A and B are shown apart, each in its own frame.
Chain A
Amino acid sequence: MTPVISLLLTLVLLGCSGPRPKPLPDLNGLLRQNAGSRREPSLAQRWLASLTLRGGREQVELMDLGARQPVPLPGLNRADAQPISVSVSADGTRLAVVQQRDERTELVLYRRSVGTVQRLPLEPPGVPRAVSLNADGRRMAVQVSRGGRWEVDLIRLP
C-alpha cells in the first residue's frame, strides 16, 4: 500500500469516528487530590455531590466545579451519621441524602440556604436505599425496600 493511500485511509477512519467525550483533566485531578476515595456521584450544572472518605469516615461533599472547591454544609455531616446515597438539585441549593443514624436508615432533605436537615418519613414505612432528586429539586425518586421487595417512591417537595 502506498503511503498516500495509507494516509487517506487513516483520514477516512478518523473522520468516521465522530466526536467523542473528552475527559476533563483539570477537574479530574482536583477530584483525585481532594479525597482518598469518592463514590456515588450526583452531577448538576456546576455542582458535584458525592460521598468522600476522609480520616476513615465517609461524608457528603458538595464541590463547586466553577470555583473548584468544596462548599461548607453546616449541620449535614453529623459524626453519628453514615451517608449511603446523595443527590443534588441543578442549582445546588438542595441535597437529598439517605443515611444511617441511630441504627436506622433515614431519608433527609438538606437546604443549603438555611442549613436545615429535614427528615422525610416514608409512607408506607420502608427502608430507603438510594435517592435521586430531579433538576428543579421539587421531586425525588427513592428506592425503598418493603417486605423484601424493591420499590420506587416518587415524592413531591414543597
Chain B
Amino acid sequence: MITPLQGRPTVQLRGEDGSIRSVPQLRRHQPHSSPSLSWNGRYLALITQRGKRLAVILDRLNGRLHPLPLPGGRDPIRLSLAPDARRLALQVADKGQWRVELLDLSELLEPDRATGQTLTTPPLENIR
C-alpha cells in the first residue's frame, strides 16, 4: 500500500497480522503508485518517479530492481502484475485515450507460482 512518509507517497508492505514493513530498495524515487504483488509476494511492481514516471519490479528475494521503460517513452499510469509474474499489464495514454498494454516478463523473471502447484515436464512425445 502507499503511505505518505515525510509527505511523500511511499510504498510499504502490510502483513495479514497488521505489521508494516518498509521496502529499503524503494526509499527514493517518490511518489510511488499502483503497487502490485505476485502470488507469494516475491515480486513487487509499482510506478516510481525518476524525472518521469517509470514502472519497476523489485525482486524481494535478491533485492534486484528491474526498471521497465516503455517503448516510445510513454508514461505508465497504472499497472497490474500477473500472480505468477509472467506478464504485466500497463495503462498508458495514447492519442487522448486510455490503453492497456501487456508485457511478457518470462525472459526477465522467474515465475512466482502458487504454493503447492504441481509442476510437470511436457510429455515426451516422439521419443522411442
Is A36 interfacial (CB-CB < 8 Å)?
yes
**Chain B 66-97 interface residues, beta-carbon cutoff 8 Å to A:** 68, 71, 77-84, 86-91, 97
CB distance from A11 to the nearest CB of B (A): 19
Q: Across the interface, do A38 and B102 meet the contact criterion of CB distance under 8 Å?
A: no
* Segment with Cβ contacts to B, from A42-50, A69-77, A104-112: A42-50
Scoring A27, A28, A36, A41 by chain B CB atoms within 10 A of each residue's CB, the highest score goes to A41
Partner of B91, one of A41, A132, A141: A41
Any B CB within 8 A of the CB of A22: yes
Q: Is the pair B78, A39 in contact by a Cβ cutoff of 8 Å? A: yes
The answer to whether the Cβ of B5 comes within 8 Å of any Cβ in the partner chain is no
Contacts A20-B107, A41-B90; is A36 near B97 (CB within 8 Å)? Answer: yes
Q: Chain A residues near B89: list those with CB within 8 A.
A: 41-43, 48, 50
Residues of B within 8 Å of A152, CB to CB, are 1, 14
Q: What count of chain A residues pass the 8 Å CB interface test? A: 30
> Which A residues touch B101, using CB under 8 A?
23, 28, 31
What CA separation (Å) do A32 and B95 show in the bound complex? Answer: 12
B84 partner residues in chain A, CB cutoff 8 A: 45
Given the complex of chains A and B, what is the CA–CA distance between A31 and B89 in angstroms?
A: 11
Q: Are A38 and B107 in contact (CB under 8 A)?
A: no
Nearest opposing residue in chain B for A46, CB measure: B82
Q: Which of A21, A27, A132 is close to B88, meaning CB atoms less than 8 Å apart?
A: A21
Q: Which residue of the partner chain, among B78, B99, B105, contacts A40 with CB atoms under 8 Å? A: B78
**Does B61 make an interface contact (CB < 8 A)?**
no
Q: Which residues does chain B contribute within 8 Å of A37, judged by CB atoms?
A: 97-99
Quick check: is B119 within 8 A (CB to CB) of the other chain?
Answer: no
A28 touches B102 (CB 8 A): yes
A135 at the interface (CB under 8 A from B): yes
B102 touches A48 (CB 8 A): yes
Contact A90 B107 (CB under 8 A): no
**New A-B contacts (13) at CB < 8 Å, excluding given A40-B78, A152-B1:** A20-B107, A21-B103, A21-B104, A21-B105, A24-B102, A38-B98, A39-B91, A40-B91, A42-B89, A43-B80, A43-B82, A45-B84, A50-B89
